[in-house]
Amino acid sequence: MTTFRTTADQHTRRRAVSFAMVVVSLVMMMGMASMTVDIGMMYRARNEAQASADAAAMAAAWRLMDQNRLRGPSYVTSVTAAARQAAVDYASYNVIINDAPVLDSNTGNSTSGDVVVGRLVDPDDANEDLDFTDPSRFNAVHVLLHRDDIRNGPIELYFAAVFGHEDSEISASATAAFFDGVIGWNVTESTGNAGVLPLALHVDAWNALLAGTLTSGDSYSYDASNGNVTGGSDGILELNLYPGAGTGQLPPGNFGTVDIGSPNNSTSVIANQILYGLTESDLAYHGGTLELGSDGTLPLNGDTGLSAQLKDPLTEIIGKPRAIPIFNQVAGNGEGAMFTVVGWVGVRIMNVKLTGSMSSKRVIIQPAYLLDDSAVVSENTGQSSFVFKPVQLVR
């Protein structure tokens, strides 16, 4: 017997098929919507994690710049600990999906830890490993921030949980460092003047100061909170640049003024450089950049003396960090002297007296950290120390 379908039966079947297709489409759309929502949240989480890691690394690297590191190994240890804490603190200030992340400070400095402190000779080299040999020269901080079962917990997913994906792990890393392979200076509108004094010191005298074998003692104290210099000890040894502390500490020829710019600079030009730093016009004479050559040296004309007229400008900058060139040899005397510069070092003038008898004159300095945007850096081809280009994210 032949069965004939009515028009109503056909409509019913069509509606059933359409309903099934709608249900399938809705499930697919919900799946796509869940993926869109969860993927968007994961992008947000990764961006926030990277921002948190960047902030933590930058804050820690800046904290390493503490002048207290110049006071000895125990202070180096405390400054490094403070840098680790800065990383922990700043990571927590930058939330990830509304939760403040936690870093382990990694006091043992494990290379796989959350906060690793060390040294990069060339921060631009992405393949260079951190060096841990000398904590007093640490200049870089690597931060690894993760949300997983080990730390902070994974990111909980919403709609994807329906499909068996309840959470997802994320991580972000950043390395910040300050550059200390300073070989010279390049002044532009964005950098401002270079904080360099036209006063030069023999490299042997500088190294002897750092070793504690050539010093005028520790008679002045710098207060970082207000920038003032007063009498008393601050734990950082000092040296009298001129005229050898009045006790024969520095034999003749170990100190002088150098001409940066045209030769035979007048006292007024040197005074302006002391007060305001090196300008673009000063460096124009040297081709726009004043830096060590490929052999690690730079010849500069100068004078082995020091004019009493420089007392006021030198006194004006007491307490302010500056760089001075160091040299390994000088040929000639007086205004015909030629200094062979081998690097730049950070100092702070503590006291000045250029009147009276020769034995009473003094220009007292102590080592100091100088950060300068105009610094030109390379892979330590010179003998510079305590002079840095400011902190940057390098990885």
Question: Domain boundary residue among 178, 198, 225?
Answer: 178
- In the chain, what's the furthest Cα-to-Cα distance? 137
Residue 290 lies in a domain: yes
Where is average pLDDT lowest: 12-16, 154-158, 219-223?
12-16
Residue 50 has pLDDT above 50, yes or no: yes
Between residues 175 and 285, the one the model is more confident about: 175
* H-assigned helices in the chain: 7-63, 73-93, 203-211, 267-276, 280-284, 311-316
- Gyration radius of the chain over CA positions: 31
* H-assigned helices in 134-279: 203-211, 267-276
Residue 119 has pLDDT above 60, yes or no: yes
Residue 140 lies in a domain: yes
Residue 2 lies in a domain: no
Residue 163 has pLDDT above 70, yes or no: no
Give residue 97's pLDDT.
Answer: 86
Are 363 and 230 found together in one domain? yes
Whole-number Å distance between alpha carbons of 24 and 246 = 95
Are 325 and 235 found together in one domain? yes
Residue 187 has pLDDT above 50, yes or no: yes
**Tokens matching residue 378:** 């390379």
Determine the structural domain holding residue 52 and report its residue range.
14-178
Are 205 and 148 found together in one domain? no
Tell me the average pLDDT across 32-57.
81
Are 219 and 262 found together in one domain? yes
Q: Which distant-in-sequence residues (6+ apart) come within 8 Å of 153 by Cβ? A: 147, 167
243 pLDDT band, cuts 50/70/90, is low
Strands (E), 103-157: 115-118, 140-147, 155-156
Are 83 and 193 found together in one domain? no
Residue 122 lies in a domain: yes
Whole-number Å distance between alpha carbons of 170 and 96 = 10
Are 300 and 155 found together in one domain? no
Give residue 82's pLDDT.
Answer: 96
Question: Domain boundary residue among 178, 199, 218?
Answer: 178
Domain count, the chain: 2
Q: What pairing do the DSSP bridges indicate for beta strands 170-179 and 290-291?
A: unpaired
Where is average pLDDT lowest: 69-73, 147-151, 370-374?
147-151
Residue 246 has pLDDT above 50, yes or no: no
Q: What dihedral angle (degrees, nearest 10) is formed by the CA atoms of 36, 41, 46, 52?
A: 160
Give residue 17's pLDDT.
Answer: 52
Are 103 and 59 found together in one domain? yes
- pLDDT tens digits, one per residue of 299-327: 998 887 788 899 999 999 999 999 999 99
Residue 249 has pLDDT above 70, yes or no: no
337 pLDDT band, cuts 50/70/90, is confident
Give residue 109's pLDDT.
Answer: 95
Are 268 and 341 found together in one domain? yes
Tell me the average pLDDT across 373-377.
92
Give residue 345's pLDDT.
Answer: 96
Residue 289 lies in a domain: yes
195 pLDDT band, cuts 50/70/90, is very high
Whole-number Å distance between alpha carbons of 298 and 250 = 22
Residue 4 lies in a domain: no
Residue 80 lies in a domain: yes
Whole-number Å distance between alpha carbons of 42 and 131 = 34
Whole-number Å distance between alpha carbons of 184 and 188 = 14
Best CA proximity match to 325, nearest among 280, 382, 374: 382
Give residue 369's pLDDT.
Answer: 94
Residue 5 lies in a domain: no
Q: What pairing do the DSSP bridges indicate for beta strands 140-147 and 170-179?
A: antiparallel
Are 29 and 143 found together in one domain? yes
124 pLDDT band, cuts 50/70/90, is confident
Are 302 and 242 found together in one domain? yes
Q: Which distant-in-sequence residues (6+ apart) come within 8 Å of 363 by Cβ? A: 199, 240, 241, 242, 306, 314, 349, 351, 352, 354
Are 166 and 243 found together in one domain? no
Residue 53 has pLDDT above 50, yes or no: yes
Tell me the average pLDDT across 343-366.
90
- Residue 208 gets which letter from DSSP? H
CB-neighbour burial class of residue 231 (10 A; exposed 0-12, middle 13-18, buried 19+): exposed
How many CB atoms are located within 10 Å of the residue 16 CB? 10
242 pLDDT band, cuts 50/70/90, is confident
Phi first, then psi: give them for residue 148, nearest 5 degrees: -155, -165
- pLDDT tens digits, one per residue of 255-297: 888 999 877 678 889 999 999 999 999 999 899 999 999 899 9
- pLDDT tens digits, one per residue of 102-118: 999 999 999 999 999 99
Question: Domain boundary residue among 143, 178, 213?
Answer: 178
Are 253 and 292 found together in one domain? yes
**Tokens matching residue 22:** 């709608």
Q: Considering the chain, what is the average pLDDT of its residues?
A: 85
